[in-house]
Amino acid sequence: DKGHIITNYHVVKNNSDKIMILYDHEEIETKLIAFDDVLDLALLKAKTNAKHYIKFSNKSPQKAQSILVAGFPHAKAVSDDLVITGGIINSLKGAGNNTSMLQIDANINRGNSGGPIVDKNSGNLVAVATMKLIGKDASIDNINFGIKSSQVRDFLEANNLKVTIKNNKFNISDLESSTVFIYCK
Task: Give catalytic residues, as residue numbers.
Answer: 10, 40, 113
Count other Cβ atoms within 10 Å, centred on residue 26. 8
Strand ranges (E), the chain: 4-7, 19-23, 26-36, 41-46, 66-71, 83-91, 101-104, 116-119, 125-132, 144-148, 181-184
Residue type, 81: D
Contact between 102 and 93 under an 8 Å Cβ cutoff? The reply is yes
d(CA 70, CA 116): 6
